[in-house]
Amino acid sequence: MSKLFSVENKAAFTSPLNVNNPVAVQVLGICSALAVTSQLKPAIVMGLSVTVITAFSNVIISLLRKTIPNRIRIIVQLVVVAALVTIVSQLLKAYVYDVSVQLSVYVGLIITNCILMGRLEAFAMQNGPWPSFLDGIGNGLGYAAILVIVGFVRELFGFGTLFGYNVIPQFMYDAGYQNNGMMVMPAMSLIIVGLVIWAHRAYNKEEVK
């Protein structure tokens, strides 16, 4: 047990959550972060999907890493990711159809998400399955965390709801409050991601160069 949660393994899990966050620090996966975060629910589903796919593709590639010929490794990685994406996409369609309609092409586009390829190349090709699994979970959750923050702000101010439930009381609207239409537009999510990165860097002055 002690070996399973050694310092390195812990670091593989925790560092992408904060100091090495894939979105806030490496600025990867921005495209989908802008596209699916207008509401909280699709943001969470998207974050979880990426987490699951990153974790399992990391494990599979890590198991295969010694047998993959170096020259065709990208193709092999793509095949593995594509298979997992297809499975997740079908699961979403089966169990949360409305969300999968909202996410539309962005589930399929997880294949091209830079975070996935980055982790496979940088981590799973050199490490064993267990650390790779932790690394995948960590990176997926780091990505999901940013998505949830952006989704929270956008849904709250853009629609006045959270998970589809009204949270801004009616008397505020009666007093003249209006939902902010710009929050619903992708442009605003880019600004919010920028603000998150700003806050993150100001908080972690030492770690983030």
Partner 1 sequence: MNPIKKLFDNIHPYVEEGGKFHAFRSLVDGFETFAFVPNTTGRVGSVNIHDAIDSKRIMSFVVIALLPALFFGMFNVGYQNALACGGDMTDYVGMFLYGFLAVLPKIIVSYVVGLGIEFVVAQWKNEEIQEGFLVSGILIPMIVPVTCPLWMLAIAVAFSVILAKEIFGGTGMNIFNPALITRAFLFFSYPSAMTGDATVWVAQDTIFGLGYKATDAYTAATPLGEAAQASFTGFTPDTIQNAITGLIPGCIGETSVIAIALGGLLLLWTGVASWKTMLSVFVGGAATGYLMQALGLTEIQWYEQLVLGGFAFGAVFMATDPVTSCRTECGKYVYGLLIGFIAVLVRVLNPGYPEGMMLAILLMNLFASLIDYCFVQSNINKRAKRVSIKK
Chain residues in the site for partner 1 (CB under 8 A): 176-178, 180-183, 185, 191
Determine contact, residues 156/33, Cβ cutoff 8 Å: no
Of 89 and 180, nearer to partner 1 (C-beta) is: 180
Would you put residue 169 in left (φ > 0), alpha (ψ -120 to 50) or beta? beta
Q: In whole angstroms, how close is the CB of 181 to partner 1 at the nearest point? A: 5
Q: In whole angstroms, how close is the CB of 40 to partner 1 at the nearest point? A: 20
Q: In whole angstroms, how close is the CB of 173 to partner 1 at the nearest point? A: 13
| Residue 199 to residue 206: CA distance in whole angstroms | 13
Of 128 and 181, nearer to partner 1 (C-beta) is: 181
Runs of H (alpha helix) within 96-162: 97-103, 105-108, 114-119, 129-159
C-alpha 48 chain-centroid distance: 7
Which of the 8 DSSP states describes residue 169?
-
Angle 34-39-48 (CA atoms, 0-180°, nearest 5)?
Answer: 75
Q: In whole angstroms, how close is the CB of 188 to partner 1 at the nearest point? A: 9
Of 82 and 197, nearer to partner 1 (C-beta) is: 197
Of 138 and 158, nearer to partner 1 (C-beta) is: 158
